[in-house]
Amino acid sequence: NGYTYWSLLFMLVVELHHLWAERRAWSGLRDLISPPEASVLRQLGVLASRRRCVLLGILEDLDLYTDLAFPFIALACDDERVITTLWSDAWDKVPVLGHLMSHIILTLRFFGVALIAVGLNVVVSGITKIFSMMAAALTHRDSMKFWEAQQWRIPTEVFFNWAQAAECAMMPSVAVLSEEMAAGQRYRYRPNADSATNTKMREDYEHGKVTEEALMTSGIHDTAEEDKIQAVERRHFNLILFQKVFLGNVLALWLQSSFLALTFQDGYSAAQIKLIISMIFSGLQAAVRCCRVSSQTGVAGLSVSILVMFFVAWSFLKVY
């Protein structure tokens, strides 16, 4: 039957605490936004997307719970090693790595492979992220003293660190708001630049007196800071694709679909229906995150997202 329904009462308490923590985090971050910035974010639909992101965070909590329960469901359903044997035989027919994977599966059993996958997700997306948050807080502690000299402008890296912390806490609403606040700092003016000098450099460029690189570096826009923010932004969204989508969704989907495909002939039990619901949660999360990353990173993110959604569709076709 899978996990007991009484355990959902514990998840209800967790979700209530999650909503309370999300409200406090959102309010604290919202207080840092000036009225003009709030108007821009409202026009972009960032503030209005909070409800959808909160719902996504709740689904992520439930999906993590079902993923943690999956190895033990596999252990209970495979007490005679029937599923392990079927899965090993299927891998044995795969060329190159199939024979090695077959031996690994026979040694670890289906339960062991699923437990390693879930443990990897918890370590990389959870424990490692907590330590990285602590390291980021210590790194930026000294920079806080210079905010007054920078006219109280919070560094862009801090916003992305907050976004990573929000992703770790399963608060997509706070993460999206932090990302947009960081992106808003992409275009800034040089403190000592003036428009007259920029106009003169453009005239010299038209007459071939200066190079394009000299023109870009002498403008009133801080192109170096813009490139730096774009690099941090790409790293942030790449981490989302790897940690949240691949380790958190795709890997679990593949294992759960393999389990359901191997037990299909036994009909659909309560445990299998719960796994299908978990797969739906994972598929929705992967689709939403791939759409968000693709809109922010362009062609590179789109190509990776297409590959991810291919594996998601493949997982559901295995169940079908």
Instruction: Give the model's pLDDT for residue 17.
Output: 92
State the pLDDT at residue 163.
87
Give the per-residue pLDDT at 21: 92
Long-range contacts, 17-26 (Cβ 8 Å, 24+): 18/57, 18/58, 18/61, 18/170, 18/171, 19/54, 21/169, 21/171, 22/54, 22/57, 22/171, 22/173, 22/174, 25/166, 25/169, 25/171, 25/174, 26/50, 26/171, 26/173, 26/174, 26/177
Q: Distance between CA 137 and CA 149 in Å, rounded?
A: 20
Contacts of 127 (CB under 8 A, 6+ apart): none
Q: How far is CA 206 from CA 199, 228, 261, in A?
A: 11, 28, 66
Assigned token pair, 257? 């679909």
Q: What is the pLDDT of residue 127?
A: 82
Q: How far apart are CA 150 and CA 294, in angstroms?
A: 33
* pTM, rounded to two decimals: 0.78
- Mean pLDDT, contiguous 10-residue spans, the chain (320 residues): 76 90 90 83 86 89 87 83 87 86 89 89 82 73 56 72 86 89 70 60 65 58 69 81 82 86 71 82 86 79 83 80
What residues have CB less than 8 Å from 28, skipping those under 6 apart?
A: none
